[in-house]
Amino acid sequence: MEESKSRTFWEYLTYISENKSPLDFVLVWDHIDRFLWGALLTLEITILALLLGGVLSVPMAIARAYKHRWLNFPIWCFTYFFRGTPLLVQTYLIYYGLAQFESVRESFLWDPVLSSAWWCALIVFTLNTAGYTTEFLRGSIETTPAGEIEAARACGMSPMTMLRRVVLPSAFRRALPAYSNEVIFMLHGSVVLSTITLQDLLGAGRWLNGRYYLAYEGFITAMLFYMVLVFIISRGFSLWEKHWLVHLRQRESETGAVAARAG
């Protein structure tokens, strides 16, 4: 046994010494179109889910922040379910679970929507991100500085005008760093798409490894694609934060200048 292991080790060293790469990325390049289509599918579902989830989360966050009598508890139950259960389980419940009910299979939504893996994934991702976005947006609304509220009231703004022109813009600005993390988490969570017959980035990597009996090449390529996408997202949110929070940095610089003169 030891002799066999030793021989394998020396054969491997010989393989490396002959300037042959232990990873065959020629196959990756030959099938790079699959990874590009996988990236497109990943971005397509992730972006659509974030847009739809963001639209759903705003009214729910307002109802939660202002403790609406009839909506607060149902919305809390909704956010607790989608934040308290794994995204993979939610995807399985929608894609595989609903098909177990005959009433669902006979409904008018079955053929165009619920029998499609793409639509099921979009529904699950939208509800999941809506649950998370609702809660941290609620926190941003509740922590709106009292001075901004008092200034809006002093200007004679109605509650709806104050919400639209003061509270929500302020909450969005302060929630932006947390939302950037949510976008990245959703991108990472998109790997569950490959478990329901959709060939996303990870699915393309698994296909390549399975077809050519590879161990790492497909996964490493998918990892590099994800890293590039996360870099672009992080950079984009960094520029967005600088644009939205520029007035705070100006205030800090002015305060520092005043303190320096006083010193």
For residue 194, give the nearest of 103, 91, 109, 84 by alpha carbon. Answer: 91
Contact present, 131 and 61 (Cβ < 8 Å): no
Of the candidates 22, 42, 8, the one whose C-alpha atom is nearest the C-alpha of residue 198 is 42
Say how far apart CA 201 and CA 207 lie, in whole Å. 10
Helix H or strand E segment including 96:
none
Q: What is the C-alpha R_g of the chain? A: 25
Domains and CATH numbers, the chain: 23-251 (1.10.3720.10)
Quote the tokens at residue 79. 């956010």
Tens of pLDDT, residues 71-92: 999 999 999 999 999 999 999 9
Please report the pLDDT score of residue 57 as a whole number.
96
Looking at every residue in the chain, the average pLDDT score rounds to 86
Please answer whether residues 134 and 79 qualify as being in contact, where contact means their C-beta atoms are separated by less than 8 angstroms. Answer: yes
Position 12 confidence tier, pLDDT thresholds 50, 70, 90: very low
- pLDDT at position 4 is 45
Which tokens go with 222? Answer: 């998918």
Q: What's residue 256's pLDDT? A: 52
Mean pLDDT of the region 41-70: 95
The tokens for 138 are 């609620």
Q: What is the pLDDT of residue 240?
A: 85
Integer Cα distance of 42 and 205 in angstroms: 13
**What is the percent of the chain with per-residue pLDDT over 90, rounded to a whole number?**
59
- Non-local (6+) Cβ contacts of 2 within 8 A are none
Q: What does residue 20 show for φ and ψ, rounded to 5 degrees?
A: -105, 130
